[in-house]
Amino acid sequence: MNAAAWTCLLLPLGSTVLITLLGGSISRRAAGWISTVSCAGAFAAAVVAFVVMLGRSPDDRSELSTAYTWLAAGNFKVGFSILTDPLSMFMMLVVTGVGSLIVAYSLGYMDGDDEERRYFAYMSLFVFSMLLLVQGGNLLFLLIGWGLVGLSSYLLIGFHHERPSAVAAAKKAFIMNAFGDATMALAFFLLIQKTGSLDFDVVFSRADGLSQTVLVLVALGLLGGAVAKSAQLPLQTWLPDAMEGPTPVSALIHAATMVTAGVYLIVRTNPLFELAPHVQELAAGLGTATLLMAGLIALVQTDIKRVIAYSTMSQIGYMFLGAGIGAYANAMFLLMVHAFFKALLFLGAGIVIHALGGEQDIRRMGGLRKLMPKTWLAMLIGGLALAGIPPLSGFFAKDSILAAALAGDTYDRVLFAVGIVGAFLTGLYTFRMLFVVFGGEQSAYVREHPPHAGHDRLVNWSMGLTVAVLAVLATFGGWIQFAGVWTPITDWLEPVAKPLIEATNSQEAVASIISVAVGALGIGVAWWIYSAHRMKAPRPWAVLEHKFYFDELYNGLFYWPAVALARILDWTVEGPIVNGSIVGVAGLTRRTGDWFRALQTGLVRVYAFALAAGLAVLVLVFIAVR
Amino acid sequence: MTSHGWITTTMIMLPLIAAVVLWVVPMPRVWVAPAALLVSLFEVGFWIEALVRYDFDRGGLQEWNHATWLKDLGVSYSVGFYQGFSIWLVGLTTIVMAASTAYGYWMRRDRPRAYYGLMLFLTGAIVGVFTAQDLLLFYIFWEAMLIPLYVLIGAWGGPGRLNATIKFVIYTMVGSLLMLAAVIVYGLQAGTFSMIDGGTNASDWIFLGFAAAFVVKAPLFPFHGWLPDAYRESPAEVSAVLSGVISKAAAFGFLRICFSLFPAGVQDFRTPILVLAAIGLVYGSLLAFRAPDIRGVVAYSSLAQLGLIVLGLFATNNLGIDGAVLQMVNHGLISAVLFLLAGAVERRAATGRFESLGGMAKGRPALATVLMATGIIALAVPGSGAFAGEFAILAGVFQQGWLYAVVGAVAIVLAAMYVLRMISGVLHARKGPAVHDNALDLRPAELAILVPLIGILLFLSAWPAAITDRVLG
Amino acid sequence: MILASAANVLVWVVWVAAAFACLASGVAVISFSNPFYSALALIGNLGSLAVLYLLLSAEFVAAAQVLVYAGAVMVMFLFVIAYLGGKADAPWTGHLPGQTIAAIVAAGALLVEIVLVIAGQADGHLSSPAEITDSFGSPAEIGRLFLTDQLLAFEITSVILLVAAVGGVILGSHSRQEASLGDDDARA
Amino acid sequence: MLGPDTAAYLIVAAFLFTTGALGVLVRRSPLIVLLSLEIMLNGANLALIAFSRHFANGDGQIFALAVMAVAASEVVVGLGLIVAMARKRLDLDVDKLSSLRG
Amino acid sequence: MTAAVTIPPVDWFAISPSLILLGVAGICLMVAVLAPDAAKRTTSAVVTAGGFVGAFVAAVLLYDKTPTGMSVIADTVRRDRYFALAALILAAVGLVAVLVSYTEHRHGHVAEYYALLAAAAGGMIFLTQANSLMTLFLGLEWFSISLYILCAIDYAKERSLEAGLKYLVVGGFGSAVLLFGSALVYGATGKLTFDAIAGAVTAGGLQHDALLLTGLAMIIVGLGFKASAAPFHMWTPDVYEGAPTSVTAFMSAATKVAALLLAFRVLVTAFPQEDGLWTVAIAVIAVCSLVLGNFAALVQKNLKRLLAYSSISNAGFMLIAVSANSALGGRALLYYLIPYAAASIGAFAVVAARERELARDVSLDDLAGMGWERPLLGAAMWTFMLSFAGLPPTGGFLGKFYVFSSAYDRGWLWLVILGVLATAVSLYYYLNVIRALYLRPGAELQFAAGGQPPRDSLLQAGTAACVVVVVGSFFAVQPLIDLAQKAIATL
């Protein structure tokens, strides 16, 4: 099992190194193949490990494997180790599975790009980082993976580095994530001080003895990392901008895997969160607020990818809600199926964008259904899954979370209510996008730029086949678990994350009915507005268009103050004090020198006088002092 | 002469003698640079030998060479490797110096005999600083570093070099002269200048004398007035040495001298120094974020990084110190690479200002890869060696006061901001007016210089414990 | 006693006269605007000093003072002054406004200090001069000292005079240097 | 000792010395400056001889004689310089000798 | 009346260094008169150089043969290792001065020049062995008068003349002060020899005697004048600038050696009971010199002037050692003088070389690019500046280290701190020289016509020797300290 896990982890890294070292000596497509094969290999390895794990008893499924001591400073030691347990296994499968599909899709999507090699190197690096995140055998390696996915995300968002907006978006994403890294690191420092270790088992076992303050601070630090990575309130603003990256990147990183790492983190460190229940409630609250806010903003977005991005944000809000109320397995379940259908949506959108020569504005699209029927089908599946319409996958996962919320206390029920509103919004914005893009008459733009089918078989196959696979997964993936009937995921994750809360079957039913109903209502409203009447969208509220002014707020709160502070320091400290002191001392010295120089008049009488005066003083002092 | 091995003296004397030979013995000009490079590579070789010989488990002082020199006042020639950290710093020195020498060769510096002689002399002096076991000898090497630097910057530097050198040398000398006073006081009180036999001294004043030299040399905020100009006006490879190696001498001084000889002073002044270091960390980061050119960014980031290293040292626990030593090596290599890259960019674009740069990544994959890789390590992305160092430092200083670690964490975010700004300012977005299409990618020779350094950085990223586990003992 | 006191009075009178002449001529030296008069005043000064030397039983020194100093040296002085034409400068003036006042203050302070010191010692160990023999200060005694205790001083004095003579020769000679370097100087 | 005490001689000597010093400080003619230097030396000589008498110790007189020789030497050199100056048609004014300054 | 005249035993060996130089001076004078013009320069230079070598050898022998100090020739001079070491340094300085002077352009008086050089050096050596106030005064005048003439020897140049006259006037004033002080000390104690003075003070309980202290003050001023210590230093820059450069070279090195060593001897042997006063006075004077010399040097453009102010500040450092009034201070002083003297004469030698090359006074700007065009001289100048500034690896560094050690040993940490700060200030102008030599392109310089070609192997040999001493004294510090230690022991 360990060997397979290590193989899974290191294969993508190997591919990165290989592509980098080979550089220009291989063809661009070869780089793509290397990457794809390595990811597929990683998936295979993960499957092998999974099979091995299945063969063991549930108590014996956790195994820690340490390669070597990575950092040993003072009494603090951390090994380069991976933890293979049901949770990480679950994530490995999702990551490598979806990952290899998307990499394969990229073979087609990125075909012809100048810097394809760089792209695939980055993609492999990302897969490695993500695996490190989920496989990391201690908190530090979790953080390392955490940081490395942020790095790969930065690299890939900024892939089109000649576009200033892409560069800016990449920087923004990285810096906000760095903020999250920092809060996590602070939590870790606290843990090191209090427990002396960052190993999961040591930390968890010693956590009981920590004071509530410490626990709250630690949990807050972890939550900071989680919200930053998962683009939850209040650190959500980077995700829409991140759509500057190539679409497969959005699919892989900003939908399927990386952004859900926050959920993974909460689930992984649930013993800590459970000891700080208020923070966990906070996580649920933040998730809920995010899902509502993102749903609202998504309504007015005009960029196809941004719509999906906000929906991602919103869906992760559900996951946070689930993880926050302790329905870990449900959150993980949504995480998985979300990976399927959101990847599907992105890749479908990618096909549209690709076909339209890079156009992303839905207002310029329209009537594509006839031109791209297969894509329409795929997108429809994705959209229905997203809206939680049975029997597609989203239904099973999302509703189980809502049901769990319904099972909780008053606070949780408020969250449930908001979640229902969110479900309505989900249906609305998803189908707004679908109807605008695919429905109705062909827009002027589409007529001018008719979507062209590629002539390259590989391109078509790689994009078509992967989308097809994802469509299948999005359709049937949810059947793995049907709350109240069969719960393999909950059982699987039981040893790692035992749910705090479980809905009764009646609650499940109530939640399902309500959410499906409002979801359908949302779809209906969308149909009524955007398909049946092709209404011009009402002028949206400025507050939505400006995404609740979070960008402006953060610019005003952090960026500009930092810049201003730097300027002020430059003007008030660096210039006048640090440098000025030198100039001042130098000037003073020089003036003193000039003054002494002026004493040297060249007149011999003055010289003699100096001697005489010096003598008079010296004699006086000698006589006086003796 | 008491001798326990030959290697320390050899490592000091070889470059010094080679320098004198270069100056004095006439030889064809074309031989000069290869000869110097060969010597500096020999230094690296000797260092590897020393690394192999040094018994980390035993620790303490090894490869000790001792000879009385000025018996009258108890001064002796006494050199050796004292604990693991001196090994690492000597290694950093030899490697960075070899890279810088090679870079100078590549740049075809004029007046080669003087140039390479000075570089070699500098090498010897720095190795001397890191191995001296006698305070006066330490001081001598300390000052001896300054002399070649003065001319290297002044004769081969940029247009503002004359003022920059004066500022640099006098500012740092004021600090070191106070150290001389402290050395004298300590030595006369103890009856010997030996760091080994002298014992501790509880005087705060002596500690402050030493600290004055170290805070200026490092530099620590607000004693960094000399830094921006010196780093900007030096030849790139000298900037690399300045920020990569010379600044580490100050941190080394704290560690080797202050910690072992003046524990009381360290105790008394820990808080002020920590505060200064923390301020410098944020301050340097902010100014790096605002700096208009590559070198400005690297220069102010050096200020910040040295603040961080001092935070780690003055955490006064093994965690912080181990991290600080790792970070010294990391930062030494990073800033060396960044300065050499700055030189490479300036050579191609004739400027280092961001307003004229940009878009260099297009068609220059090697430059982009090298700069990106180094920048990413510089901003301490988790998993990098710099991350390991910073993590250990902050975890260490957290135990002195959580606020320091919070400040450090803020600074890490700021570091991300300024490094990314630098990377994108050079490589990304629209092509700057100073970037010509025919500006070349990094040449194989440049890669041959830079890639080994980055290789070491990557190695340290994969296994930071290689150093942190072998710092003290 | 009477004889002694009469002698004492006589000595006093001579002393007062000589001291007064000495001081007056000293002031005169630095007050005359014409160096010629100053030089003459200095001769008077040296002469009156010789009297004081005599009163101090330094016969040989007094003689030397008159012969060598007031005679030979001052004659040389007068020669030079005559040669140069004795240009006058207005004493006590100059283009240094504060210099004169400052000089007077400094010199005055010095004088006051020394006088105070001497006065303070007047009743101390300066009050009882030692008894002397007749031979004290005689040429024979001086000669003996020159050949015994102060042998070296005697020799060195001659060396100094020799050096000065060489200097006089060099500086006084109107050599080629003047002619050939004159234009160097002009060029510079 | 007949006549006034040693102290009286010393006061005369001090007066002479300071008079000479004053001369050097205030006079601009190099000739008179030289003369003033002579006065200073003579003041010292008077003190030496007075002490010599006071201690009945001949050394002071020898010293005074040596000083005379030295004074003569200084005069010779000084006059030589003055003559050289005059030959270069320089003003005989020490205040004009200020090309070296600063 | 016929008192038996017994000439005291004369230890000719004790004064042999001076005598040799006097003899050489005499020979040179004869050369001046007798030799044909063409031969004057070479003959007199060779003879003088030989004289300095002889004096050097004599000094070495004296050092070797004088394990304990003694007063000789009716106690008027000392024969001890202290003086022998001084003579050794002075003879070496003189020898280098001959090398520097040899190619100096001079119309006439060449042989006289060497005669005076030898005479001045002889006087200085004699001064350092003076053991009575009379020999002190005579020795002082001996070399002073020689120097007055040497300064003015290029009297066709107005500046040389000006330098000579200024030196003479202020020097005469200083001598008179010293003399009056000697008279007062004589008056207070009745003695002229140093140890007798100390004895009389002890016997008579005269430690607080006003007469004695006034005399002491005057002696300090007189010696401070010769050592060019502030505020008695004011003649120094003018004279150094105006005098022929070879003379300045000799003077700057040798006068310091003689005056400071004598000052130490006088103060320590004649006034040990008054140390509470004079150590403080000397320390204050040292501080004045440090402050004034360094600050004024900062703003100098003319190189000779700059070096003159630097010599003032160095006098300050050496006076710190004197003020320590200890064996350690003595060692510090003796040691400091060795690299200082070498660096000083060497630096002026380089100035002289540049002057001859450019045929004009050398300003800092005139050094532009010299380091690259004249590698030997440039590197030498660099070394000298480092030594002045007290940077390793030069003897100047250890000199300062010793000086500060002696001050701290005395308990004067404040003096150490002040010295350290002064050093920091001084760096500016020393580095300025190096900056001119190496950091500025020579193209800035407009060469004047009429200079000599720079080839001057004797001067370069002399400069190289100075470099060897400056650097060698760093590495061979312990042997030199041993020499100094033995010298101090015989004081």
Contact state of A616 with C103 under an 8 Å Cβ cutoff: no
Closest to C170 (Cβ–Cβ): which among E3, E15, E109? E109
Average pLDDT for residues A280-307, to the nearest whole number? 85
Contact state of E192 with D21 under an 8 Å Cβ cutoff: no
Does C188 contact E at CB distance below 8 Å?
Answer: yes
A583/chain E closest Cα distance in angstroms: 13
Contact state of A146 with B382 under an 8 Å Cβ cutoff: yes
Give the 3-state DSSP-derived string for chain B, with helices as H, strands as E and coil as C: CEECCCHHHHHHHHHHHHHHHHHHCCCCHHHHHHHHHHHHHHHHHHHHHHHHHCCCCCCCEEEEEEEEEEHHHCEEEEEEEEHHHHHHHHHHHHHHHHHHHHHHHHHCCCCHHHHHHHHHHHHHHHHHHHHECEHHHHHHHHHHHHHHHHHHHHHHCCCCHHHHHHHHHHHHHHHHHHHHHHHHHHHHHHCCCECCCCCCCCCHHHHHHHHHHHHHHCCCCCCCCCHHHHHHHCCHHHHHHHHHHHHHHHHHHHHHHHHHHCHHHHHHHHHHHHHHHHHHHHHHHHHHHHCCEHHHHHHHHHHHHHHHHHHHHHCCCHHHHHHHHHHHHHHHHHHHHHHHHHHHHHHHHCCCEHHHCCCCCCCCHHHHHHHHHHHHHHCCCCCCHHHHHHHHHHHHHHCCCHHHHHHHHHHHHHHHHHHHHHHHHHHCCCCCCCCCCCCCCCCHHHHHHHHHHHHHHHHHHHCCHHHHCCCCC
Nearest CA in chain C to D2: C8
Does C128 contact E at CB distance below 8 Å?
Answer: no
D101/chain C closest Cα distance in angstroms: 15
**Cβ contacts of E188 on chain C, cutoff 8 Å:** 125
Q: How far is CA A622 from CA A476, E281, E437, in A?
A: 108, 9, 46
Contact state of E187 with D88 under an 8 Å Cβ cutoff: no
User: Residues B384, B461: contact at Cβ < 8 Å?
Assistant: yes
Confidence of residue C186 (pLDDT cuts 50, 70, 90): very low
Contact state of C106 with A609 under an 8 Å Cβ cutoff: yes
Closest to C181 (Cβ–Cβ): which among E119, E142, E157? E157
CA dihedral of residues A53, A55, A58, A59 (deg, nearest 10): -80
Give the 3-state DSSP-derived string for A442-458, with helices as H, strands as E and coil as C: CCHHHHHCCCCCCCCHH
**Cβ contacts of C107 on chain A, cutoff 8 Å:** 612
Rounded Cα distance, B157 and B164, in Å: 9
Does D68 contact A at CB distance below 8 Å?
Answer: no
pLDDT of residue E116: 94
Rounded Cα distance, A582 and B173, in Å: 13
Q: How far is CA E277 from CA A622, A624, E148, in A?
A: 7, 11, 32
Contact state of A573 with B424 under an 8 Å Cβ cutoff: no
Contact state of E210 with C163 under an 8 Å Cβ cutoff: no
Nearest CA in chain C to D28: C89
- Asked if the model's pLDDT at residue C86 lies above 60, the reply is no
Does A21 contact B at CB distance below 8 Å?
Answer: no
**Cβ contacts of C102 on chain D, cutoff 8 Å:** 25
D51/chain E closest Cα distance in angstroms: 5
C186/chain A closest Cα distance in angstroms: 21
Tokens 């000792």 locate to D1
Does C159 contact E at CB distance below 8 Å?
Answer: yes
Return the partners of chain D (3 or more C-beta pairs < 8 Å): A, C, E
- Asked if the model's pLDDT at residue A445 lies above 90, the reply is no
Closest to E292 (Cβ–Cβ): which among A596, A615, A626? A596
Q: What is the pLDDT of residues A368-388, one digit of tens each?
A: 777 777 888 888 888 888 888
CA dihedral of residues E39, E43, E46, E49 (deg, nearest 10): -120
pLDDT averaged over chain A?
83
pLDDT of residue C184: 45
Q: Which of B251, B315, B282 is nearest to B408 (CA)?
A: B282
pLDDT of residue E443: 63
First-to-final CA distance of chain C: 76
D71/chain A closest Cα distance in angstroms: 18
Confidence of residue A534 (pLDDT cuts 50, 70, 90): low
Closest to B111 (Cβ–Cβ): which among E372, E391, E421? E372
Question: How many contacts does A have with D, using Cβ atoms within 8 A?
Answer: 31
Average pLDDT for residues B203-221, to the nearest whole number? 90
Contact state of C181 with E8 under an 8 Å Cβ cutoff: no
Contact state of D102 with A608 under an 8 Å Cβ cutoff: no
pLDDT of residue C87: 64
Contact state of E242 with D24 under an 8 Å Cβ cutoff: no
Confidence of residue C185 (pLDDT cuts 50, 70, 90): very low
Closest to E163 (Cβ–Cβ): which among D10, D30, D100? D100
Comparing A101-105, A390-394, A546-550, B183-187, the range with the smallest average pLDDT is A546-550
Confidence of residue A625 (pLDDT cuts 50, 70, 90): confident
- Mutation site for D-interface testing, chosen from E186, E214, E238 by largest number of D Cβ within 10 Å: E186
Rounded Cα distance, A586 and B25, in Å: 40
User: Residues A327, A499: contact at Cβ < 8 Å?
Assistant: yes
Closest to E478 (Cβ–Cβ): which among B70, B140, B188? B70
- A 162-181 residues with CB below 8 A of B? 162-164, 167, 170-171, 174-175, 178-179, 181
Average pLDDT for residues B141-159, to the nearest whole number? 89
**Cβ contacts of D85 on chain A, cutoff 8 Å:** none
pLDDT of residue A454: 57
Q: What is the pLDDT of residues B453-467, one digit of tens each?
A: 999 999 999 898 888
- Asked if the model's pLDDT at residue A547 lies above 80, the reply is no
pLDDT of residue A357: 76
Comparing A571-575, C154-158, C174-178, the range with the smallest average pLDDT is C174-178
- Asked if the model's pLDDT at residue A219 lies above 60, the reply is yes
Contact state of E477 with B165 under an 8 Å Cβ cutoff: no
- A 574-603 residues with CB below 8 A of C? 601, 603
Does C104 contact A at CB distance below 8 Å?
Answer: no
DSSP state of E325: -
Does A590 contact E at CB distance below 8 Å?
Answer: yes
E478/chain C closest Cα distance in angstroms: 37
- Asked if the model's pLDDT at residue A518 lies above 70, the reply is yes
ipTM of the prediction: 0.91
Closest to C121 (Cβ–Cβ): which among E3, E149, E211? E211
**B and D touching (3 or more beta-carbon pairs closer than 8 Å):** no
- Asked if the model's pLDDT at residue D28 lies above 90, the reply is no
- Split chain E (491 residues) into runs of 10 and give each run's mean pLDDT: 67 91 93 88 93 95 91 89 94 94 83 93 94 93 94 88 92 94 92 92 86 92 92 92 93 94 94 90 94 91 93 94 93 94 94 87 86 88 93 92 93 91 90 87 57 74 94 93 92 84
- Mutation site for D-interface testing, chosen from E168, E185, E193, E238 by largest number of D Cβ within 10 Å: E168
Contact state of D17 with E162 under an 8 Å Cβ cutoff: no
- A 606-625 residues with CB below 8 A of C? 606, 609, 612-613, 615-616, 619-620, 623
Contact state of B72 with E485 under an 8 Å Cβ cutoff: yes
**Cβ contacts of D77 on chain E, cutoff 8 Å:** 145, 148-149, 168
Q: What is the pLDDT of residues A42-63, one digit of tens each?
A: 899 888 888 888 888 878 888 8
E79/chain D closest Cα distance in angstroms: 21
Token pair belonging to B468: 């942190």
Q: What is the pLDDT of residues B58-98, one digit of tens each?
A: 888 888 899 988 888 889 999 999 888 999 999 999 999 99
- Asked if the model's pLDDT at residue A455 lies above 60, the reply is no
Q: What is the spatial order of strands in the sheet that B61-70 belongs to?
A: B2-3, B61-70, B75-82
pLDDT of residue E452: 56
In the three-class reduction of DSSP (H, G, I as helix; E, B as strand; rest coil), residue E70 is classed as: strand
